Amino acid sequence: MQLVLVFLHIVVCIALIMIVLLQKGKGASMGAAFGGSSQTVFGSAGATPFLHKVTVAAAIIFMVTSLSLAFLFGRGASSSVMKGVTASEAPVSQQAETPPPPASGGEQK
């Protein structure tokens, strides 16, 4: 089950990267204004509605697989790193004794 989720997560990750890279940015139509060709591979409306829906679906699948993997791999960590380490007392450091500050007698000159 975990191996299938890891594989699905990696595939969705790569697909999400590719889908985002296929989309046009907001300033992509400026190239057509200066003599560049307009790319109408996906029809007259463009690929925006289709790629938007695919991006949303891939993002939802990515989030679900991320949460599932975190839940599956996170619940088995019940042991401690400090298990088997013996407790020892901390060494007492000797502090140099400082003389108390001189007491002021309250006399003022």
Residue-level pLDDT at 60: 96
7, part of any domain = yes
Q: What is 45-59 written as a DSSP string?
A: S-SHHHHHHHHHHHH
For the chain, give percent helix, strand, coil, nearest 5.
50, 0, 50
Number of separate domains in the chain: 1
Structural domain for 61, as ranges: 1-21+48-74
Assigned domain for 15 exists? yes
User: Would residue 4 count as lying in a domain?
Assistant: yes
Residue 65 belongs to a domain: yes
pLDDT at residue 23, as a whole number:
83
Q: 56 in a domain, yes or no?
A: yes
Print pLDDT tens along the chain (109 aa).
Answer: 889 999 999 999 999 999 999 887 766 555 555 555 555 555 555 556 888 899 999 999 999 999 999 998 887 656 777 777 787 776 666 666 676 777 776 665 5
Would residue 33 count as lying in a domain? no
Q: Is 43 within the bounds of a domain?
A: no
